[in-house]
Every structure is written in C-alpha cells, then in structure tokens.
Structure 1
Amino acid sequence: MGSKQRAYTPEFREGAVRIVIETGRPIPEVAEELGIHSGTLHSWVSRRRRNGMSVGVSLLRQGARELIDAIPR
C-alpha cells in the first residue's frame, strides 16, 4: 500500500521557511500552525540555511500572522 505524500507549492514552502527565519519562532510551533510535520519544515529550513540564503533573524513578529494567512495551500 502506498503512502500519502502531500505536494506543497513552492510559495507555501518559501512562506513557511520565511516565518521561521524572520520571526525566530520554533519550527514545531510553526509546523503545527500550518498543519505540516515538523520534520518536513525542518528539512526546508535546513536546506535554505545550508544554501546560504538566510540573512539572519529579524524582529518581524508583528507580520507573522499576515504571512501565515497569505500562504497558498
């Protein structure tokens, strides 16, 4: 029997990673809020950081909710 693998749009992945990086919120917390497995989000964030695209953590906590609501699913 095959497993159910969900496909996420590049925009959803990027938005989820940005929430973690820009707000500094814990990956498990963001993952739960978005309804995805924390291991999945962790791999996306790790890949982004490994590729040197992370500029650092900023204090954009105020816009976090707007980012979450704007992510297409």
Structure 2
Amino acid sequence: MDDFSEIKIIESHNALNLESYLKRKFKQYRHPLFESTEWFLLPEFELRYFTNNEYQKDNDFMKIFNYRLDV
C-alpha cells in the first residue's frame, strides 16, 4: 500500500465518462505489471494534470465534466 497514493478526487455527475476519457488519455502509462486499465505509472509532468488542476484547461475534460442530462 505504501507504493500507491491517491492523486486527486474529482466529483462529477458524469464520472463514468470522465473515467473513460482519462483512461484513454493516459493509456500509454498503464502499469506494465498489471493487465488492467485501472493502474497507471504517471511521470511527474503528467501528475501535474491533477495536482496543479491542469485538467481545468483541458477542453475535452471540461466538456465531459460539465455535461448534464437534467438541464
């Protein structure tokens, strides 16, 4: 457990689509020891996407994040 850390929690009404988007965005960083799309080894410059809230500048991310069916 010491080798893993939570990076960021982003709450959204459209979490499933955001998860799919992020998995596609970071697919080249999938952890090589697991045959899964759930674990990633992100380099420091990609971690900033989350730690510095750079995802807020990602138009595709924000489009999914802000999409609401109940409008």
TM-score (norm 2): 0.29
More helix by share: 1
Q: Report 1 or 2 for greater relative contact order, CA contacts < 8 Å, sequence distance ≥ 6.
A: 1
TM-score (norm 1): 0.29
Larger Rg belongs to: 2
